[in-house]
Structure 1
Amino acid sequence: MTDRDQPAEDLLRELAPQVLGVLARRHGGAFDLCEDAVQEALLAAVRQWPADGVPANPRGWLVTVADRRLVDRVRGEIARRRREERLALATPQSALLAPAADAPDPSADDSLALLFLCCHPALPVPSRIALTLRAVGGLTTAQIAAAFLVPETTMAQRISRAKQTLRAAGGRLAPPEGSARLGEDGEDGEDGAARLGEVRHVLYLVFNEGYTASGGEELTAPRLAAEAIRLTRLLLRLTPGDTETAGLLALMLLTDARRPARTGPHGELVPLDEQDRTRWDRGLLDEGLELIAATLPRGHVGPYQVQAAVAAVHGEAATAEATDWPQILALYDLLLRLDANPVVALNRAVAVAMVHGPAAGLGLVDELAADRRLTRHHRLLAVRAHLLDRLGTDPPAAARTYREAAARTTSAPERRHLTTRAQQADPHPNT
């Protein structure tokens, strides 16, 4: 398939980080101006390409338009406000006015450096997510705002502050020291490895928000999940020796394969043990199983690989009853040693309940209730209610806990599901 045959939206999202990389390398520290210029070029393409057709060299077209927009803006600032000193400190004037024909080697791919830049340690996590989706994902501010259920003005301010922070921190388009070796054997110095871990974490958070939206009327935000998968594929292509990136991609594929079965005909939440597994996406499932099977034997095993292995056990079970829960419990034991956080411990409690009975799981959940990171989280209450329900000795307590969990979630589908569970646990609460 040629560029002319590829859907324009997909092509623009693919080219966005490449074009931004060209401008950022050419204009040095002016990342904020480069990013704005690329967004203007993307909008111009959205307006012109449907009528005129995709140009023969779409990447070159975008670079030319973006570069002209940037130069026009700089010249305008010079003419109106005499601010050339600010930009001249970061970029030589000759570079700012360089014609598009002088673009760097078109085969160069700055996507990895761009991911590192968007996940700069100086930025808070929400800003990293927003900047990654806009600069590398090619999503508009309006699309990102809609996905995270915030006003467009709020998201625009977040992105603007992130770019200002990058400028103040001296962020430049260059991967951390030694990170070029990541593609060879997955090993690197502490700086590059830590920054790569931050990139993975941002993509993981984007996927989680897409798979289970934290608020709103819809259970999922498929666009975010798809974008997280696309960017993780890109990251793995750029760092093929990194087994944790491979594990993260496998985890996303195996998890997203279940999405078609997660909702019923009216948008209601369908839990894993009740899903029609014939509706799972077999293509994603097979790809994820193959990827994690090829990755686990290759070297150091990290948390994403173990989570992918858990998802693989679920994916290989033809029915909920056929799930190998002892194997899942063993994997959670390993995961807890690798990543001792309360969410992992809560998931392990569920596995313990499936292997040793709900009472054993409840004991662990009650211990976790003392952890301040989970005390007010609806998931702790939902798990406790589910185990009380399975135990069957105190239906009113199970119903009360379901209702308390429902009151704490900001997701409408989860709230309806938990409320329904409460009614099923104790159908006659006042009798």
Structure 2
Amino acid sequence: MRIALINPPASRRYVQARDEPLQLEYLAASVRDRADVWLVDAFGLDLSTAETLDVLAETKPDVVGVSLNFAASSRPSLDILRGVREALPEATTLLGGNTATFRARDLCLDPAVDAVVVGEADLTFPEIVDALAVGSPLDGVPGLCIERQGRAVTTKDRPLVENLDALPFPARDLLPLGETYTRSVLTARGCSYGCIYCSATAFWRRRTRIRSVDGILAEVATLVRDKAAYFSFADDCFTIRPERAMAVCDGLAAMGGETAWSCTGRIETISPELLERMAATGCRMIFFGVESGSPRILARLKRRYTPKRVEEVYAMCLAHGIVPSFSFIVGLPFEEPQDVAATFELIRRLEGVECGVHMLTPFPGTPIADKPNDFELTIAPHRAEDLDINTRSFIDTPFADRERTQQNFYDGMGLAMGTVRRKRRFLEHYRPRPGHEPVIA
């Protein structure tokens, strides 16, 4: 059996970095013992839909799986499967990923789609391959949404993987030009924070599952052996459990080597002790989703920190040689003009580092998309592929219509680009003593 797993192109390129398609590498590892598997990273290699179809025409796979994680890839994903249906009518076509999961009942009705994998695919995909190998219908495979007699039908529920250490390491060797990618290590799956603009909590069923420290370090060791100079911990929040993050750092220290790494963190979880340990083992960058500079809005978002604390974490990171980056959202529920002004003021104070400003966007599976009335939001009609945090607003709030939000976005991005060029003036008068937390004047 020949299998092609596709990371599709997007209507708009939302990131410039070339990160490995980690979930597809996991799936490739799960079936490589029973099939020939190709990974086609159309997004990472800037392949068009037509070029992706040319690759598939040459390889003639029996199974084509497309990872529809991001809404901006909705149209290209379907266009690829429609092209496969025309050129390779006997091939089995599959969709999976975050966006596919929350649009499964619509997507499975497209004639080009044989099945949509709902949620985590690590257990479901090998069972699909086994069923196809013996000619069994997919109706008996749990975790799918399929079309039957013109209706969307879901098969038996698929439980989450309980033991992440039981999964094989990602099949990085199957990724063409793999040496040109930033390597990623997933130390946990899930997010318990439940942010209103994010679907991760729903996708992972409000659970967080943690890999063992030994399992994490064993995978990092393979990257060190491959002489990877840099990698990222790709969790939704690497520092969600600070004691576990410290244990990983202790293991990295014992391992030795010169590999640098980055991660995503939460302001609430950061301490000088944690940053010291992270910096000593190669951490060079931490991304924080701060979202607002208004104490009132942060409280509405159930954030357990203040703008003052954001500044303190900013200073602590830089003092330890770690570059922080921050993201903010405009158009948030209940956000008034003075709240936007407070966000812009915080950005001004985060000198010399990258601050991203984005528009609140109703992605499938997010609380704001599912229950907009709960947040006093009016969402304009749209297609999934049009949703983008940096292009166009689709949300009216009581205090800002779409046009106002877009203008706030433009103003915020201009401010952020100016701020990143400014010298970090606080360093002129702040020199930390070991073990002392910085205080911002």
Give the TM-score of the pair, scaled to structure 1. Answer: 0.28
Instruction: Name the larger-Rg structure.
Output: 1
* Structure with more helix by fraction: 1
Q: Larger strand proportion, structure 1 or 2?
A: 2
Task: Tell which has more relative contact order, 1 or 2 (C-alpha 8 A, sep 6+).
Answer: 2
Give the TM-score, by structure 2 length. Answer: 0.27
